[in-house]
Amino acid sequence: MTIDPGQAFPAELSRQIKDRFHHVDQDFTGRPRLFFENAGGSLRLKAALEAMAKVDAVPDSAERIHEVAAWLKQVQTRGTDDVRLLFNATGGTVHASLTASAAMFDMVRAVAENVPGDNIVTTVLEHPSSYDAASLYAQRLGKELRVARSNQVTGGIDVEEILRLVDGRTCLLVLIYASNISGAKLELEQIVRRAREIKPDLYVVVDAVQHAPHGLIDLHKTPVDGINIAPYKFFGCRGSGFSWISGRLAVLPHHKLAGKPAPYWDLGSVAPWQFAVVTEIVDYVCWIGSQFGAQGDRRTLFARGMEQIGLHERALLARLLQGSDRGPGLRGIPGVTVLLDHDDLPRRDLILAIALQGLEHTQAVREYEKRGVIVYERVASSIYSRRMLESFGMDGAVRVSPLHCHTFTDVDRFLEVTREICAGFGR
């Protein structure tokens, strides 16, 4: 298979993009730094932080009738519309929560407790918020938990591996959109369509937290019942999660104030700044889309922007793997093993797992930090890593996760540091 090299942003656009983010080339103290740990929490848009500060400084309650309250309500309304736009969703309920993980537990609980069926299907690659929620309610309700195995070559989950577990008694299918260790994307459109051929009314809930910043989500093509994102991994701010919940899931019994409508999921007063941040994220992606000639409605601009982000990140991934005339990529550096590696780059988000010969993963991360590069160790002692790593037959990895605001120059610097570390340890 030939590597699809993607398409990098023009240099001037990359410069403008980088300027819209905080701390891309240096940390908050001003020290030079390369932040390749965006899978743990992405670099922040300046506009998102500014919107948060502006809106959260307003003391008024959006539940009142005066002018400023009405403005806050408009902020929430536009942000709600932008969540639907991001997912390409119509109807249903937009739910704002403190974290995406909390919303995942709530969605899983609503289905597990109220939809007939004796089994729940999920995958071994789930984030603990999905896997543990499925496991908890399966155990509590006496349902069988069926877990799809990973593919140790692609780092993902094969479609047939999931489908073999689904039957007419499955009440819920819980899926991660893309692995947060390998970057492998699940073939969600095919999985949803074929799973519902087995059980037409099957409920499907998806964790899109990891994938959302890297690729376009389209619920018209993948009609799931619940899906979540975490804005802090999507160029936004911590302390916020958003979910879209289908009409039929939203009316299942769930925690809510008795006087609220049946599909209402928010508990207490939501924070208007959460919605303002989502609008800034969507504005930014639409701006990128406009730089590539996209015209028309906001969703069209957003879709083109996400497409170009994906193409740029694929170009970064190809350079990380293959290198350039400036030096070899990770595949060609003595002492480096690229784990879960394959050439079908369109099926991979911009996340890499590597191992450095002779260096324990945590030690390797520290060596990178000494040289001004931030990456992350995925090790079996972590509750966020053990299950996935064991499924791959691995004891750990160094996770490398740049973002679209990075450039070939940043990638080349990372490769230079990697060569330096390997050479310094006798390779």
Q: What is the pLDDT of residues 1-36, one digit of tens each?
A: 457 889 999 999 999 999 999 999 999 999 999 999
pLDDT of residue 427: 47
Q: What is the pLDDT of residues 71-106, one digit of tens each?
A: 999 999 999 999 999 999 999 999 999 999 999 999
Q: What is the pLDDT of residues 169-221, one digit of tens each?
A: 999 999 999 999 999 999 999 999 999 999 999 999 999 999 999 999 999 99
Reply yes or no on whether the pLDDT at 57 is more than 70: yes
pLDDT of residue 268: 86
What's the rounded mean pLDDT across residues 346-373? 96
Q: What is the pLDDT of residues 377-424, one digit of tens each?
A: 998 888 888 999 999 999 999 999 999 999 999 999 999 999 999 998
pLDDT of residue 426: 56
Per-residue H/E/C for the chain: CCCCCCCCCCHHHHHHHHHCECCCCECCCCCECEECEHHHCCCCEHHHHHHHHHHHCCCCCCCCCCHHHHHHHHHHHHHHHHHHHHHCCCCCEEEEECCHHHHHHHHHHHHHHHCCCCEEEEECCCCHHHHHHHHHHHHHHCCEEEEECCCCCCCCCCHHHHHCCCCCCEEEEEEECECCCCCEECCHHHHHHHHHHHCCCCEEEEECCCCCCCCCCCCCCCCCCEEEECHHHCCCCCCCEEEEECHHHHCCCCCCCCCCCCCCCCCCCCCHHHHHHHHHHHHHHHHHHHCCCCCCCHHHHHHHHHHHHHHHHHHHHHHHHHEECCEECHHHCCCEEEECCCCCHHHECCCEEEEECCCCHHHHHHHHHHCCEECEEEECCCCCCHHHHHHHCCCEEEEEECCCCCCHHHHHHHHHHHHHHHHHCCC
